[in-house]
Structure 1
Amino acid sequence: GFPTYEGKELGLGELKFRTYPYDESVIITANEQNDYFKVVLKAMEEIYPEIAKKTKHISHGMMRFASGKMSSRTGNVITGESLIIAMKNLVMERIKERELSADEKQKIAEAVAISAIKYSILRSAIGSDIIYDFEKSISFEGDSGPYLQYTCARARSVLKKAKSSGSRTATEAVAVRLPSGPILLERLLYRFPEVVERAAKEFEPHYIATYLIELSAAFNNFYAHNKIIGSDEEDYRLALTEAVATTIKNGLYILGIKAPERM
């Protein structure tokens, strides 16, 4: 007789393990495949128990437009490539008046477009549908990838300005005047390693996305209400700014998102 899909999946699993001996294999599919993979993994436990122990199935929802569900029947379907191009065009429209070279604008547009798409996917908890909103995804304010990139660029701009004015960076400061008590930024920075560890352990990258939004909001609030360069606590506040910039950049790197120097 003919082999079943489950039988082919078992053969593929054995071939994959033999070709690329792995410590762990994570298979990601749409939620519709849940029952199918329950059968596959149960059969794998019986036939290839060692491979089964190293195989994990994670299911996810589908990407949908905020305007409605994608449908091939109505023509409301978009490819990954065309989505990136559409996002780049939107970003270029947003930054066309900024004093940047044409090359810089192209690089920023591509980085921001990909950031908008990746963040919109990764901010969703595993298993839920991804509601994609074109305008919100490229917003430089609020819950978006470009907002994180903008905050990182803002922090770097402060550090660059401090260096050009002769202020010491965090690594150059010999003694730092500490504030009277801990602030929200410090508490958030302290949490970064545990957030990353939890995200990795639970296969939930949205923990990092949510954390970075909280950190960015806290820094922007701090930036709006506190003088950094020229303040009595300049060394400390510059050190804090540098820590924020480094943490956001590292968090974006984990999510596969670039952090442009300028926005």
Structure 2
Amino acid sequence: MKLTEIAVESLQQVIQELSQSEINLLMEKPKYAQHGDLSFPCFSLAKIKKQPPPKIAIEIASQLKDEFIEKAEAVGPYVNIFFKKDKVQQHVVKNIMDQTNNYGNLNIGKQETVVLDLSSPNIAKPFSMGHLRSTVIGNSIANILEKCGYNTVRINYLGDWGTQFGKLIAAYIKWGDDETIQRSPIPELLKLYVRFHEEAAIDPSLEDEGRLWFKKLEDGEERAVALWKWFREESLNEFNKIYQLLGVTFDSNQGEAFYNDKMEKVVSLLAEKGLLEESNGAKVIQMDDSTSLPPCLIKKSDGATLYATRDLAAALYRKEMYHFSKALYIVGQEQTIHFQQIKAVLKKAGFEWSEEMYHISFGLLLKDGKKMSTRKGKIVLLEQVIEEAIQLAKQNIENKNPNLQNKLEVARQVGVGSIIFHDLKNYRLHSVEFSLEDMLKFEGETGPYVQYTYARAKSILRKGEWSVQEMKEGLNDSYSWELTKLLNVYPQIIQKAINNFDPSTIAKHIIDVCQSFNSWYAQEKFLVVDEKRNARLSLVYSTSIVIKESLYLLGMDAPEEM
């Protein structure tokens, strides 16, 4: 039920001079509730009707009628429209209860396939907080796409190839100790990686050594390949622990190395199409002048491949494998030029489907206002953060509800949820300051606040021993009305989130819902036995449905008790 559409259609019955779309563009939402739910300014009609706007407003207000409109008032040049709270509420609650978890579903995807390239950490390095954004943003977008009727393929495009592995192998051979690394593989490999860059700053010849070892790896040299496989296996074991805690799953873990035997085919294809040029011994593709992009490097002068070569091979493989209608790359904004080049090369090569490839970029995760850097060792390990968040959540539960059942599971849900929500409540292009203390607050715009509101709603329903039943009449108070309007626009919020590939639209809306619900909670006695009891509990139930579904779309759990 779109209240704006009801108002526009009713106004158009009275205003013959304007189309519905023209009326819709003029509609306003009054700043104060006492001025109505919607407002129509009459200034644009003054020239047409050759009458002053206040007179036109009186004329329109006197004729405006609809089964859901309670009254229309002329206030100066405005027509203020008030809806029938109880009737609208009855309709909204019935709609939510009829659909339950399907409320807000949109069939705009028509079962088309969307592939999402997300998370994609580098092997042989710890899973840091810096990888969190791609993981949770991508997972949430996939959930929203599914709610909108798309099939999704989540791809963890592991960073398991490239010059950095030559550097790591060189560092391992120079300074690695087998016994130490066996005991604690990832932290020790990180130390070696950081040491390599520290030493290379003093002795630049180390960089050449790193490149040489990567060339050996590309050529299949036995020792290089054995070390690389070991690094990859240990890394995947570590990553899977994190993904399990986050509740994130993938349809594919094919990393960059998977495309090693597919890159020459891409290079040949580009050559056949006359796109490759020589440049100082390297192979490049010139970009069109209109793009202002630098040339795209396909092969280095030593014959080594690059990110671009692999990403082109991956795009072609995924199109052939999954027949996608859209391909989303959830990767930081520092890769913007790279993805513009990939898209431009595919378009020059005649692949029109490249128009449906989208770089879903996002800002940095900051620590003390600075970017986290693996190379300099300035990282915050995600697993440690999750464990700390769970422990703090457990302490909160012990303090507030020591008799709670499943305390450990609820602590996990709250701790992990706090981290996810702290990220997703921010518009993805904004950088986010990491703060565990802020994440875990039970008040304000936090995950625990939303989860606690859901648990509160479920507690009311349990105490009221309420079961789903028809809501025969609605409520008329202003607090429940504000909540009803927020629940009513939920399908439009989903639409907006998918249009912009932006989970923060849902996170912000559900904060508004929770704040409105808690304002109502402070004013209302839900369990009083009177003729409005079922109406109150029906609205509580409807609110719980919208909160739970929103949490699911964000990739979070909804604890029944906290």
Q: TM-score, normalized by length of structure 1? A: 0.90
SS at match of 1:96: helix
Using the alignment, how far apart are the partners of 1:46 and 1:68 within structure 2? 38
Q: 1:185 — aligned with what?
A: 483
Match of 2:549 among 250, 255, 258: 250
Instruction: Say if 1:140 and 1:147, in contact at 8 Å, map to a contact too.
Output: yes
What is the Cα deviation at residue 40 of structure 1? 1.1
Q: 1:220 — aligned with what?
A: 518
Aligned residues: 257
Match of 2:500 among 176, 182, 202: 202
Q: 1:25 — aligned with what?
A: 327
Using the alignment, how far apart are the partners of 2:543 and 2:449 within structure 1? 14
Q: 1:52 — aligned with what?
A: 354
Instruction: Say if 1:14 and 1:51, in contact at 8 Å, map to a contact too.
Output: no
Instruction: Say if 1:66 and 1:133, in contact at 8 Å, map to a contact too.
Output: no
Instruction: Say if 1:25 and 1:54, in contact at 8 Å, map to a contact too.
Output: yes
Q: 1:176 — aligned with what?
A: 473
User: CA separation of 1:11/1:71 partners in 2, compared to 1, >3 Å: closer, same or farther?
Assistant: closer
Q: Which moved more, 1:26-35 or 1:14-23?
A: 14-23
Match of 1:153 among 432, 441, 455: 455
Q: Name the aligned partner's letter for residue 32 of structure 1.
A: E
1:121-161 C-alpha deviation (Å, 9 max, x unpaired): 11111211122211111111110111110000000100000
Q: 2:389 — aligned with what?
A: 87
1:13-67 C-alpha deviation (Å, 9 max, x unpaired): 1012222222211001111111111111111112252330231111111212357
Q: Name the aligned partner's letter for residue 528 of structure 2.
A: G
Q: Name the aligned partner's letter for residue 83 of structure 1.
A: V
SS at match of 2:411: helix
Q: 2:5 — aligned with what?
A: none
Instruction: Say if 1:195 and 1:211, in contact at 8 Å, map to a contact too.
Output: yes
Q: Which moved more, 1:13-22 or 1:113-122?
A: 13-22
Q: Which moved more, 1:220-229 or 1:77-86?
A: 77-86
Instruction: Say if 2:343 and 2:355, in contact at 8 Å, map to a contact too.
Output: no
Which one has a bigger Cα radius of gyration?
Answer: 2
User: CA separation of 1:50/1:178 partners in 2, compared to 1, >3 Å: closer, same or farther?
Assistant: same
Q: Name the aligned partner's letter for residue 87 of structure 1.
A: A
What is the Cα deviation at residue 79 of structure 1? 2.3
SS at match of 1:183: helix
Once superposed, what is the RMSD of the aligned Cα atoms? 2.1
Gaps of 5+ in 2: 1-300
What is the Cα deviation at residue 68 of structure 1? 5.3
Q: 1:100 — aligned with what?
A: 403
1:78-117 C-alpha deviation (Å, 9 max, x unpaired): 222222112111111211232335x611101110111111
1:201-225 C-alpha deviation (Å, 9 max, x unpaired): 2101100000000000000010011
Instruction: Say if 1:126 and 1:204, in contact at 8 Å, map to a contact too.
Output: yes
Gaps of 5+ in 1: none
Using the alignment, how far apart are the partners of 1:20 and 1:173 within structure 2? 44
What is the Cα deviation at residue 186 of structure 1? 0.8
Q: Which one has more relative contact order, counting CA pairs under 8 Å at least 6 apart?
A: 1
Instruction: Say if 1:177 and 1:235, in contact at 8 Å, map to a contact too.
Output: no
Q: Structure 1 residue 260 and structure 2 residue 559: aligned? A: yes
Match of 1:127 among 429, 439, 442: 429
Using the alignment, how far apart are the partners of 1:236 and 1:74 within structure 2? 59
Q: 2:74 — aligned with what?
A: none
Q: Which moved more, 1:186-195 or 1:8-17?
A: 8-17
Q: Name the aligned partner's letter for residue 509 of structure 2.
A: Y
What is the Cα deviation at residue 174 of structure 1? 6.3
User: CA separation of 1:68/1:14 partners in 2, compared to 1, >3 Å: closer, same or farther?
Assistant: closer
SS at match of 2:406: helix
Match of 2:446 among 117, 138, 144: 144
Q: Name the aligned partner's letter for residue 172 of structure 1.
A: Q
Using the alignment, how far apart are the partners of 2:518 and 2:413 within structure 1? 21
Q: TM-score, normalized by length of structure 2? A: 0.43
Using the alignment, how far apart are the partners of 1:90 and 1:159 within structure 2? 28
Using the alignment, how far apart are the partners of 2:474 and 2:450 within structure 1? 28
Q: 1:230 — aligned with what?
A: 528
Over the matched positions of the two proteins, sequence identity in percent amounts to: 28
Using the alignment, how far apart are the partners of 1:11 and 1:32 within structure 2? 21
